[in-house]
Chains A and B, each alone.
Chain A
Amino acid sequence: NAGVTQTPKFRILKIGQSMTLQCTQDMNHNYMYWYRQDPGMGLKLIYYSVGAGITDKGEVPNGYNVSRSTTEDFPLRLELAAPSQTSVYFCASSYRGGNTEAFFGQGTRLTVV
């Protein structure tokens, strides 16, 4: 099983550029999440989705957008990249979100210069 797949693995952006981080899962999970991980800061929730067509903001949503048109895919959009968005981004999914495990992708390391 592929689990949670993120692309790309690495990316360098210039300030003001836009990009989409892709995330897809093949476990038929209802819930999907985007986190960012900064050194010494732990993981912070950016956006989450409880099903196709439903998304909501997490702790640090500013500068990002998401969509969930299918159960499998949950892309994260950066519209105007800023140096503060340099981070490692993780996508995760879980079934229903209650008493079940969360599974994480391998991450996307983004540098904004």
Chain B
Amino acid sequence: KQEVTQIPAALSVPEGENLVLNCSFTDSAIYNLQWFRQDPGKGLTSLLLIQSSQREQTSGRLNASLDKSSGRSTLYIAASQPGDSATYLCAVRPGRSGGSNYKLTFGKGTLLTVNP
């Protein structure tokens, strides 16, 4: 059974700092990995999607990497801002050898606070 772990559970940084959020998964047979942002009381907003054949994806100040063989992904946020404060979730979609590829398995998230 696929398990997704996110470390740390919470992170507090001063504004302007570069930071890395970690995501690990136990079954490397994945189709893709997706990073989401969730603001308090809100839904999930997709940030980046990395296909299993890709090593990284970039969007603005965000860069996500994927090392499928070691079961790890990182989300790098450059020059953090107070508006980046939110919970960040990663989710993996299983590849065909891992069973049904319809379902996302989520980590519990990292709560990020960027202090002005």
Asked whether B43 lies within 8 Å of A58 as measured between CB atoms, the reply is no
Asked whether A106 lies within 8 Å of B43 as measured between CB atoms, the reply is yes
Asked whether A106 lies within 8 Å of B42 as measured between CB atoms, the reply is yes
**Count of CB-CB pairs between chains A and B under 8 Å:** 55
Query: Which interface class (under 10, 10 to 19, 20 to 34, 35 or more) fits B?
Result: 20 to 34
Query: Which interface class (under 10, 10 to 19, 20 to 34, 35 or more) fits A?
Result: 20 to 34
User: What would 19 A/B residue contacts be, using CB atoms closer than 8 Å?
Assistant: A33-B102, A35-B106, A40-B108, A41-B108, A42-B108, A42-B109, A43-B91, A43-B106, A45-B104, A58-B103, A97-B93, A97-B101, A98-B101, A101-B34, A101-B49, A103-B46, A104-B36, A105-B43, A109-B41
A90 at the interface (CB under 8 A from B): yes
- Bound form: Cα–Cα A104–B102 in Å: 15
B44 at the interface (CB under 8 A from A): yes
- Bound form: Cα–Cα A21–B70 in Å: 39
A50 at the interface (CB under 8 A from B): yes
